[in-house]
Amino acid sequence: MKSIIRTSALAFAFGLATILTINANDLNNPNTAQTIKVGMYQTMNTSTLNLMIVKNNLKCANVVLKDARGNVLTHEFVSKKFENYRINYDLSALEDGKYFIEIKGENEKIVKEVNLTSKSQDNVNAQSRVITLE
């Protein structure tokens, strides 16, 4: 009876060690673990776009704002000392249309689409800006 319990305990311990090793390797593999997380939102009643980046175990990143033709409008380098980084874009000077924000890490690239449209308000001779994030 004692040998059955000992054998079962050893089998459980080896099985658990194997599972923990496999999960640790998956987390360290850049192809399976996401190293960049991105959040975006518009500041209410403005043309300001706020971008937040969280780098997990990543040395550096590049953030590029492009128009629909691929022309680079801004380029930002995020050094390795920043794990969390925020960028505010004032989009009021840009024309209506599609824009893309590319965040590039060592082995990862995230592309976010931003659509700008202007709405005219009937009761006031002013325009409001709508920013659609995808």
36-118+127-133 is a CATH 1.20.1630.10 domain? no
Separation CA 98–CA 114 (nearest Å): 6
Q: Domain spans of the chain?
A: 36-118+127-133
Separation CA 93–CA 48 (nearest Å): 11
Query: pLDDT (tens digit, 9 = 90+) per residue, 14-31?
Result: 443 334 334 434 444 445
User: How many distinct helices (H) and strands (E) make up the chain?
Assistant: 1, 8
For the cut 80, the answer to whether the pLDDT of residue 129 exceeds it is no
Q: What is the average pLDDT score of the chain?
A: 75
